[in-house]
Amino acid sequence: MNSSSPPCLVLASTSIYRRQLLERLGLPFETSSPQVDETRLPGEAPERLAQRLALAKARNVSGPRPGDLVIGSDQVAALGAEIFGKPGSIENAVAQLQRMSGQEVLFHTAVALIDGRNGHEQCENILTRVRFRSLSELEIRRYLEREPALDCAGSAKCEGLGIALLDALSGDDPTALIGLPLIALARMLRAAGVPLP
């Protein structure tokens, strides 16, 4: 790649949700699957875990792609020190939603951007507070029958029917809860010289 070529934008994720969000910015991009161990370190705070994994994903994909702009992102849902990952099964999702019923859960969504032209790294963590209604097992199972959110941290899709499980949510970026904070990312891209409106 010569120095006058614009950098290729790469999303270090195979998540359909992140891809759909990034499409909103109207920029051409590629996707690449990062190979990262997502195991939580002993005593690691949820927000640190999200930031570490977002950077690790971007670094993993950026390594063999010098000159590209690589985006990494990760989300961690936490109730105190307890972390909720992707449930993977209906029974796990039921258990997660029962645990979160009537509670305020903090969703830490980190986004990282690595500029392969100069090695510059940017990373931000966006916090979203989500208060779940008191949910009966019947309501939980009825929700999961209609919208099995097995690939979502916290077992619910706020952009879909999952919004009906909530009492309230608050945060600085509505796209953060879906998985990719576009306000922060747009800020990072502009800082890297990418023209955005």
pLDDT in tens, 127-173: 999 999 999 999 999 999 999 999 998 999 999 999 999 999 999 99
Q: Which of 68, 74, 115, 173 is catalytic?
A: 74
Q: What's the pLDDT tens digit per position in 20-54? A: 999 999 999 999 999 999 999 999 999 999 999 99
The CATH architecture to which 9-191 belongs is: Alpha-Beta Complex (3.90)
Quick check: 55 and 95 in contact, CB under 8 A?
no
What's the maximum distance between 2 C-alpha atoms anywhere in the chain? 59
* Average pLDDT for the chain: 95
Coil, strand or helix at 79: strand
How far is the CA of 123 from the CAs of 83, 85, 140, 158, 180, in angstroms?
21, 21, 35, 24, 12
Q: What's the pLDDT tens digit per position in 83-123? A: 999 999 999 999 999 999 999 999 999 999 999 999 999 99
Tell me the helices (H) and strands (E) count for the chain, helix number first.
5, 7
Query: Is 74 a residue of the active site?
Result: yes
Q: In the chain, what percentage of residues exceed pLDDT 70?
A: 97
The structure's pTM equals: 0.93
Place 1 in a pLDDT band, splitting at 50, 70 and 90: very low
Place 4 in a pLDDT band, splitting at 50, 70 and 90: low
Residue-by-residue DSSP string for 97-153: HHHHTTSEEEEEEEEEEEETTTTEEEEEEEEEEEEEPP--HHHHHHHHHH---TTST
Single-letter amino acid code for the residue at 20: Q
Place 6 in a pLDDT band, splitting at 50, 70 and 90: confident
Closest of 2, 104, 126 to residue 54, by C-alpha: 126
Closest of 179, 183, 188 to residue 50, by C-alpha: 179
Does residue 14 carry a pLDDT above 50?
Answer: yes
Closest of 12, 116, 15, 114 to residue 67, by C-alpha: 116
Domain extents in the chain:
9-191
Does residue 2 carry a pLDDT above 80?
Answer: no
